[in-house]
Amino acid sequence: MINKLIEKIQKTQAPIVVGLDPMMKYVPGQIQKAAFAEYGETLEGAAEAIWQYNKGIVDAIYDLVPAVKPQIAMYEQFGIPGLVAFKKTVDYCKEKGLVVIGDIKRGDIGSTSEAYAVGHLGKVQVGANAFYGFDEDFVTVNPYLGSDGVKPFIKVCKEEKKGIFVLVKTSNPSSGEFQDRVVDGKPLYEIVGEKVAEWGADCMGDSYSYVGAVVGATYPEQGKLLRKVMPKAFILVPGYGAQGGKGADLVHFFNEDGLGAIINSSRGIIAAFQQEKYAKYGEANYAEASRAAVLDMKEDIAGALAARA
């Protein structure tokens, strides 16, 4: 799957992943109205609204980007109906040829991580049959429990030719509280980065490992360091746009080959129509506003990479 991700990045010339993190306040009025007319102001109604909203965006951008990253919390908040909408979104994006990164940030003791890995990347055995649960292509993994919380994911990735991104340095303001603590002269995120490189060493695709890392766009200096610590890890970079990251901050996340990173934007793309810059599209054409925002982001990143060269 890492090879497919790279091929698609090269084909689209866009190292970009669109974060499908729907919140009701982003969903255009006409979509909410139609969903509530059918299901009432219920969890089912909310789930229908976010699904239709996602579908509009995916239809408008699937030819421009290699991947999407649905954040499962935004679905899980609507209980079971929300998770049904998550699954529909995953399936639809795959039908459209997109690589799907499930942003699930799971991680537990060994046997429990195995259950998460099976449920999100692999197949679970039921009697004589085996079934995919959510069937994303990649998932994000929390490393706080150490190797035996991460390795069950890697095992399933090997079997299924899928991949993971391990949280190394997250994009949020308080990420430094524990991640930046200095251990033997090095910040903890660097030690986690070294582990990612170690875990990924025997998990190679053609040029990159399918054990990748998450490093926030909001921390470009740390990105520069971690790029060197994990030369073969693909870096998933959240925090572009709404969280404050800019194209010029991102160049050091990439290797000399122009690869090695994929930049996520969520709100900046899916709620573009709510920004002044794209207001002319109006609520009715929210998906076209998202398309325009993807094209602008692509140009910003390409420009920054060209300026580096």
Site residues (CB under 8 A) for its own copies, limited to 157-186: 167, 170-179, 181-184
Residues belonging to the active site: 105
Q: Which of residues 204-223 bind its own copies (CB under 8 A)?
A: none
The enclosing H or E element of 120 equals helix 110-120
Residue the block writes with tokens 């991700």:
5
Nearer to its own copies, 4 or 132 (CB): 132
Q: Report in angstroms how near the CB of residue 303 gets to its own copies at its nearest.
A: 27
Residue of the chain from 3, 55, 96, 112 that contacts its own copies (CB under 8 A): 112
Residue of the chain from 11, 29, 129, 221 that contacts its own copies (CB under 8 A): 129
Q: At what angle do helices 43-61 and 29-39 cross, to 10 degrees?
A: 140
Nearer to its own copies, 96 or 105 (CB): 105
Determine, following the binding rule CB under 8 A, whether residue 265 of this chain makes contact with its own copies.
no
The contact mask relative to its own copies for 66-85 (x = CB under 8 A, - = no) is -----x-xx-xxxxx-xxx-
Which residue from 53, 45, 43, 44 is spatially nearest to 23, judged by alpha carbons?
53
Q: Which of residues 90-109 bind its own copies (CB under 8 A)?
A: 105-109
Which residue from 17, 87, 95 is spatially nearest to 261, judged by alpha carbons?
17
CA distance 93 to 98: 5
Report DSSP state, residue 307: H
Residue of the chain from 11, 29, 128, 256 that contacts its own copies (CB under 8 A): 128
CA distance 102 to 99: 10
Nearer to its own copies, 60 or 243 (CB): 243
Q: Stretches 115-123, 227-235, 273-281, 291-299: which one binds its own copies (CB under 8 A)?
A: 115-123
Contacts of 158 (CB under 8 A, 6+ apart): 203
